């Protein structure tokens, strides 16, 4: 054991629980916002008003655009 240092315990890492909580909350908020935006985009794409009566994602004149004034 010549020249070797005795096994020292690893240094203790200080963790700030408040900072960890804030970080977790921020990550959760980003994920929730992303999921909400995806749901809104899907709903907008599948709306009968935007896709016509077919309900497909293909661009079509909306029902509002097809309405005839005075009719």
Q: Chain-wide mean pLDDT for the chain?
A: 79
More confident residue, 65 or 52: 65
pLDDT of residue 50: 63
SS3 per-residue string spanning the chain: CCCCCCCCCCCCCCCCHHHHHHHHHHHHHHHHHHHHHHHHHHHHHHCHHHHHHHCCCCCCCCHHHHCCCCC
51 located within any domain: yes
Average pLDDT over residues 31-58: 78
Number of independent structural domains in the chain? 1
pTM assigned to the model: 0.47
Q: Is residue 41 part of a domain?
A: yes
- Tens of pLDDT, residues 9-38: 888 888 899 999 999 999 999 999 999 999
Q: Which structural domain, as residue segments, surrounds residue 38?
A: 27-55
Residue 69 lies in a domain: no
Say if 45 falls within a structural domain. yes
pLDDT at 56: 53
């Amino acid at each position: 054991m010549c020249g070797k240092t005795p096994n020292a315990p690893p240094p203790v890492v200080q963790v700030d629980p408040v900072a960890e909580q804030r970080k977790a909350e921020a990550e959760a908020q980003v994920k929730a916002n992303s999921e909400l935006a995806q749901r809104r985009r899907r709903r907008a794409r599948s709306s009968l008003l935007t896709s016509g009566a077919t309900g497909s994602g293909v661009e079509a004149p909306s029902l509002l655009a097809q309405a005839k004034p005075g009719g």
